[in-house]
Amino acid sequence: MTERNFNGLIVRHRKSAVFFERETDLNIEGYVSPRWSDQTPVIQLSELRRKYHFSKDDFNEFLAYMEQIANEAWKNFTPKEADSMGADYDSYYDKEFDNEGSLSIGKYYIDLDGPFCQPKTNNPVIRLFKFNKRKFESFIYDLRKALEDRAHE
């Protein structure tokens, strides 16, 4: 799996998936969620929420990298507008953690809320988002659109 870091946002990809992750502070105490019967501490919500700001040039570089890895991860990758719940990346359900996260795009930033109830481990890297092909197609479509909208300002 390859990875690249954009202002603390770690982007990893493999065949058929793209992940957004970040390093968390292992010294921040987790809390016990009633969801886990074995009293496993989970990562604090404050560690799962981040807004990643980019300069115009960095945002262009981020988009270019997203397009590059999309074509490495999937065949026949075609960015297109979200036309169903399965294509909309705004709300993201993570099966492994049985919880939701979210992602939004703004003027040279992306705002991420990773899925809640992630068990705290000794690994400082936590998952913020896992893309399938269709969600990534709409994400790249919206990244392109955000750049086009900014070009007209």
> What pLDDT shows up at residue 149?
72
Over 70: is that where the pLDDT of 116 sits? yes
Whether the pTM exceeds 0.85: the reply is yes
Over 60: is that where the pLDDT of 99 sits? yes
- 3-state SS of the chain: helix, strand, coil percent to 5? 25, 35, 40
Over 70: is that where the pLDDT of 1 sits? no
Contacts of 149-152 with C-beta under 8 Å, sequence gap 24+, read 150/56, 150/107, 150/108
Q: What is the rounded average pLDDT for all residues in the chain?
A: 88
Tell me the two tokens of residue 133. Answer: 């092909």
Whole-angstrom Cα distance, residue 104 to residue 88? 11
pLDDT tens digits, one per residue of 7-24: 999 999 999 999 999 998
> What pLDDT shows up at residue 151?
59
What is the distance of C-alpha 9 from the center of its chain?
Answer: 8
Task: Give counts: helices (H), strands (E), the chain.
Answer: 3, 10
Whole-angstrom Cα distance, residue 69 to residue 117? 28
